[in-house]
Structure 1
Amino acid sequence: MLENLKPVSRVSVSDEIVDQMAGLISAGALKPGDRVPSEKQLCVQFGVGRTSVREALRSLSVMGILKTQRGEGTFVSAERSRYVEKAMQWDVLLDGKAAGHLIETRLMLECETASFAAERASEEDLAAIAAAIADVQNAFSGPALVEPGRYLEADLRFHLAIARATRNPILVSLLGTIRGSMQAWIAKTVPARAAKSIKDHRKILAGLRARNREKARAAMSAHIRSSSSDLRRRLKQT
């Protein structure tokens, strides 16, 4: 299997590793449940440093493609959600310009979603949103993000819980599709902006609890614009 890997030459080394590892999984060279070679082996095969390999493995874990078990190693996940499957397809098919269109659509959709949710959310809805934020926080150990996969799942649940609070099933479906399509891209920015996102989420929840549509909309707009700016910078590096 290792002989199928090639030395890395792209500017974004970790992304090249992600692409090659994902290719091995898609081709069946690495199957669900298979143990991934050690960091040392991957460093030798790719001809890169350990930092790049670790970043790539972290990204694959965030996307749900790999799963790390303490004391046992890293394995190809046995199950991947439909959001991850969509994310992998769009990550391959869309170029930077199309990604910009998708970001714009998300901005327009999620800001108004927060506005309507501020007016319509029940106490149960607010509790679900708060629980998602707590789960995002639980992905940390002090200031360090230790469970990126858990973070990404809880972050998605946070946004979908707000959509459900609007009582508009079409809105929920649209947001689920857009977020699912962007999940692989979002995963690439998780380590750098995870702590900032938690602060943003709390501001959004404050607007929802206050039943203040403008406050909720403004908080969501600031969050989406900030995360999208990080995402655009990341896409330019690939």
Structure 2
Amino acid sequence: MKEEKVSNYIKLCDEWAEKFLRMDKAELMKKLPELKQEDGYLKIVHFGVPFGVRESDGKIERLDGKTEANATEMLNIYTLFGYVKEQAFFMDKWVPFADLRNARPFAPAYKTGVTDVFAETFSGHAEELRKAFMKLNGTELPQGDVGYQINAFACEPMRFYFWDRDEEFEAQGNILFDYSATDYNHVESAVSTAEMGVRRLAEVAGLPLKGKSFGMS
């Protein structure tokens, strides 16, 4: 079942590659000034990792040479290109996922698959989390045992807060979005973007994910 699910995501990526070929690249770069057109790619950075969308066929490559781009990364990039609104702008209005436009129906799955995974993965590992944020050029925040702002994309900063476990409470995590997030991408992509953030932090920290992650791969 899982292989079938992954293959469906890959099929969706192939469909988005075709859509990308039909997009007006100059218009897209106006909406997303962070894009760079060079070496036959449109280049973009997602949670600290450089990616390139090939202009020849619309396929996405991870450009740091470490691993291939996974389905979550690719769909986050494709849907950003497909859903960004012409007048999207950073509002500096920070809200939890459930308070984004049209997000509430997805909130229970988001808690299970993202913030619970974030808390469980880094429970007892606050120092590893702090170092991971620093490696991703995060900006430290005053709230939480560990709190940092990092960029999902240059247009989409996110704030991660973590409280480690103690004698009374389990570890807890929270992630805030700028309210503009759904002007840049589909609300369901906010879920997979946050999921990718947690996965990237775990990858950088060298820790296995714990909990019921979505596991799109």
Normalised to the residue count of structure 2, the TM-score between the two structures is 0.35
Whose helix proportion is higher, 1 or 2? 1
TM-score normalised to structure 1 length: 0.33
Higher CA-based Rg: 1
